[in-house]
Amino acid sequence: MKSKSLEILELKAYGKINLFLDVVGRRVDGYHFIRSKMQDIEIYDEIIFKRGIKSSNNHCNFFDIELEFCMKNSTIPCDDDNLAIKGAKKVLEKISLKGVELPKDVLGSAINIEINKKIPISAGLAGGSADAGVCMLGINELLGNPLSLEELMSAGIEVGSDVPFSIMMNFEANKDRLTMTGEASKAGIISGVGEIVSPINTEKYELILINPGISVSTRRIYDEVDKRFSFKKEDYDSEKTSADIFLAQKNNKYNIMQALTLDLYDEAKEIYDYMKRNLNADMVMMSGSGPTMVAYYSDKEIADKDFIKAKIEASGHEGWKVFRTVSGR
């Protein structure tokens, strides 16, 4: 493998929304089979990778490469529960297992990773998965791309269920800064437990997102799914594609978790009710397990006017955060 001269790499870790989300089965080990349509949003964390000299702040060491993390504007600790650190460790683990000989100039070096958080935490926007996926992309790039896009995505499912899609979507979004190649899109159909990702064409939307400033436990929501829905099969055929093709062709939007989160979190219901009553959106739907609510618009002017209205409303509610963004551009 040829030596890489790249020493600094700046990437954006974009969040996602769910245009469709259903739980269609449950494995005997407790993991859930899903079918989902996911797409990017123009809200992102900033991640800067720097190759340099080792220090004493050691989190992980493979190939004598030290990883150093810094989280800015975030309360997320730099420990082994941090998805970004999990992703970084995982990509180095897979490179090691592949037996790749790395360039001599990277052996004995450190990779400093600085993450500037902007995506709300535990909000249904896959901010943690975005950071994990982009850390995997960035380290792979700095080390000369020993893993392919497909190999990165395959490794990503061992980090989190949203990570394979986040890798593909963020690869597409950062293609001007990455030298790796592969088939990708900012939108995809996801099935299995998140490991099966098929790129599809994006749908263009103007968006307003409102987050109540609280975190939602995804595990708690899935526990509620298990209580309220019964799955006839414990072993579901996740390779079936008929429903995936249907989702790719139809403009149906649905989130099985929305009613559950609204029942369990009054803060989420308050925002949803406000948006349904007061915004002139084409539709309002929760992303992921929530609590972020998304208003969809085909008309930019209407979205801009509603954004002003929502910002005024948010000023009277502690914790409310309002975002004006787009998807599918």
Q: How does the average pLDDT of the chain come out, rounded?
A: 89
The percent of residues above 90 in pLDDT, for the chain, comes to 73
- Does the structure show a pLDDT above 50 at 238? no
pLDDT at 34: 93
Closest among 135, 140, 141 to 47, alpha carbons compared: 135
pTM score of the predicted model: 0.92
- Does the structure show a pLDDT above 90 at 246? no
pLDDT at 233: 52
What value does the mean pLDDT take over residues 10-26?
Answer: 95
- Does the structure show a pLDDT above 60 at 248? no
The percent of residues above 70 in pLDDT, for the chain, comes to 89
Domains identified in the chain and CATH numbers: 8-200 (3.30.230.10), 205-228+243-327 (3.30.70.890)
pLDDT at 235: 46
What value does the mean pLDDT take over residues 27-52?
Answer: 93
| Residues 153-205 pLDDT 10s | 999 999 999 999 999 999 999 999 999 999 999 999 999 999 999 999 999 99
